[in-house]
Structure 1
């Protein structure tokens, strides 16, 4: 295994964009849904509107140029090339921060917070809130390589992220994440390999509620359990498919850009805060930027495999290092503080912002920034 850090630039060939255009011109549509809402999935009329915009107005080269203004690299870890963005702050006292995305997200989730985090003074903030950012693409996602063997679950990725940070010369760092990124970040804290000084997560995964909580839940805890029960009954089918049959699912996602787009964008409606359609809360081009990261890298099956590796028995080991949790109101699971403290045993920061959902860095970037700054601002490196 080489420790080499190689420079990388995103350069999608015109042939790939031409192929996408052909596929978008020759879509075979399903019948329309027999309901007037999203209860059976993403509606046909909405998908047709997005596809027309994708084909006639969307510009991938804009996104590519925006990404390439930052520093991208590849490094091999345990036989897999890991892609990551490494954006150093101009502030001499900036602290290293590893930020990890999830599914169906990507590095695109963080585009609106990179500038304020790395150069807060240029964005009306203070130098003390500056960070050197490391933003990796999960194995099998984005521009990272695709594992060809089993075993690449969250525990392995957490260890490899520690390798990545120390390889970059960061012997001490903070870590942040949501969705799979939050689960991996929590495992980084649980493993406590000696380099991570503290974590912040905006999807808080804990074990089953204690007998005390279940015997006498607060109204907020009752609402949280009811919210999660609705997700399990109505919204978790995608996860079971990806956990059990990622390869079968992959054929459709690899062959149809509309299928890949619909599979992803449905979640940006259901997991946003009070959105009737994804572009109520997100810019449509930004949503398509994220879809393109999957489509152009043919990552439908390879990204789904993370569910096969880890979703059946997620790691809920206790976390002893300094931790912070932000519970946005329309997150999938919204445990109470006393519930979270069963796992996060050195919980130094806790907040419940008024607005936002699962994709907080994209949906409410100012609130997300405040959470990250308030959490790590009180922690020592």
Structure 2
């Protein structure tokens, strides 16, 4: 089992932290344990495999762009950095600066980061990632969110932040059933927030697959989830024809996003078909190939991000990409992560329905994301109270524009009522 293979890699701390002790006393029933990451030995093996991997000396067809897949020059550059300048020890230490825990919920071990604010009135918020992301993509926003900041109305706002790993991602092992859905994940994450950590009400943020889990929480657990913020929705974006037919006028920034969506629909969803129909093929083919996983993941990260990634305010550098892919390989989670597509074939729907809740919904559109939802469409699915459009960022705003994402999540404080 994945968990049995992973457990020796976790160095269990000697005592539960004060923050965890302050949570619900019932959490002892969930075998809550803090841990630190120690994947140093595994990284040595990764590096040996990378060193043995041979890439073509030159591109088969020079000049072919990223629309045909990861570019050889980019992949070669990343491989060289992995072998030379990339410092896993430094990245691991940075990951361990945060408080990590595991809890056993319905027999499934769930990994999560939990950082409490010092403010007594801090809002609990859960941040949910997707593929090919992980808890790592939210690290730049955790500390700023825990700190008190003045909102647009002059109110001080802060958050206690929980960032779980989706089942099958990083340190959360694969779910127990082949038919495990995002609704199942929503259920255990609500248990995490309410019974394990003792929060009676909380807010959620979701992107990519995390948006599907967050939306399930938003509608199905409407007494505990009292606000939601999204940068992606589990509804197919409307086509350009649909937008025009509904007499919706797009801003210049939204027109850029609309073009991105058209390009993605034309040439960007090959991975989606593969992972939805043949997860074992790609998962097993690349299982023990770090460069193979790098090619599969890094090409998509680059294609879905702002073309200016790596320049401020973006922190989506080559180092960030290598850290993300290292986590996939070192935790043996590449195979289990791609299964989320096959397990949820109907998670995205073209039928817009409104969630049965009055909780406020906030939405942020980033210029270079691969999905566009005009305000009129977002309003169909929830109690929309805020809609922001940003001129920098793509599909991974926690890395691509962390300052904007932090500000938008803080907007929850204007509407949250426990």
Query: Do the two structures share a fold, i.e. TM-score over 0.5?
Result: yes
Deviations 1:245-271 (A, max 9, x none): 111111222121011111111122111
Q: Summarize the alignment of residues 92-241 of structure 1 with structure 2, pairs less than 5 Å apart.
A: 92-120=120-148, 128-166=156-194, 167-206=196-235, 215-220=245-250, 223=255, 227-241=260-274
In structure 2, the gaps of 5 or more residues are: 1-27
Q: In 2, are the aligned partners of 1:199 and 1:323 still within 8 Å (CA)?
A: yes
3-state SS of paired residue (2:113): strand
Q: C-alpha displacement at 1:287, in angstroms? A: 1.6
Cα distance in 1, alignment partners of residues 295 and 148 from structure 2: 36
| Deviation (angstroms), 1:357 | 0.8
Any idea what the Cα deviations from partners look like across 1:133-191, whole Å, max 9, x if unmatched?
11000000011111242122211111111011012100100001111112211111121
1:36-73, Cα deviation, whole Å (9 max, x unpaired)? 22121111122111111111111111111111122111
Match of 1:9, SS? strand
2:354 to 318, 328, 344: 318
Instruction: Pick closer, same or farther for the CA change 1:265–1:279 going to 2, 3 Å.
Output: farther
Assess if the C-alpha contact under 8 Å between 2:227 and 2:412 holds in 1: no
TM-score (norm 2): 0.83
**Please, which of 46, 49, 54 is the counterpart of residue 28 of structure 1?**
54
Map of 1:71 onto structure 2: 99
Q: Distance in 2 between the 1:285 and 1:226 partners?
A: 29
Q: 2:392 aligns with which of 335, 340, 355?
A: 355
**1:101-120 superposed Cα distances (whole Å, 9 cap, x missing partner):** 11111111111111111124
How far apart are residue 238 of structure 1 and its match? 0.5
* Further displaced range: 205-214 or 330-339: 205-214
Q: Deviations over 1:193-225 (max 9, x none)?
A: 421111000113336759985634434299466
Distance across 1 between alignment mates of 2:242 and 2:87: 54
Distance 1:159 1:45, change over 3 A: same
Count how many residue pairs are aligned between Structure 1 and Structure 2.
Answer: 374
Structure 1 residue matching 2:200: 3-state secondary structure = coil
CA 163–48 in structure 1, closer or farther in 2 if over 3 Å, else same: same
Q: 1:213 to 1:45 in 2, by over 3 A?
A: closer
The whole-number CA distance in structure 1 between the counterparts of 2:234 and 2:346 is 14
**Match for residue 333 of structure 1?**
371
> CA, structure 1 residues 248+106, in 2 after alignment: closer, same or farther (shift >3 Å)?
same
Quick one: structure 1 residues 21 and 127, their matched pair in 2 at CA, closer, same or farther if it must change by over 3 Å?
A: farther
Q: Aligned with 1:367: secondary structure?
A: helix
Query: How big is the shift at 1:192?
Result: 2.8
Q: 1:358 to 1:212 in 2, by over 3 A?
A: closer
Q: For the aligned residues, what is the CA RMSD?
A: 2.5
Q: Conserved in 1, the CA contact under 8 Å of 2:182 and 2:216?
A: yes
Rate the CA distance shift 1:354–1:375 in 2: closer, same or farther, 3 A.
Answer: farther
* d(CA) in 2 for partners of 1:143, 1:176: 20
- Asked whether the equivalents of residues 33 and 40 of structure 1 are also in contact (C-alpha less than 8 Å), the reply is no
Alpha-carbon deviation of 1:86?
A: 0.7
Q: Does 1:371 align with 2:401?
A: no
Deviations 1:84-108 (A, max 9, x none): 0111111222110111111111111
**Residues 207 and 106 of structure 1: CA distance in aligned 2, closer, same or farther (over 3 Å):** closer
Q: Which moved more, 1:306-315 or 1:69-78?
A: 306-315
Structure 1 190/259 Cα, relative in aligned 2: closer, same or farther at 3 Å?
same
How many Å separate the matches in 2 of 1:48 and 1:203?
Answer: 31
1:266 paired with 2:266, answer no
Q: Which residue of structure 2 aligns with residue 303 of structure 1?
A: 337
1:317 CA drift (Å):
4.5
Contact 1:190/1:317, CA 8 A, preserved across alignment: no
Q: Deviations over 1:1-45 (max 9, x none)?
A: 95221222211142x122112111111325624142212111112
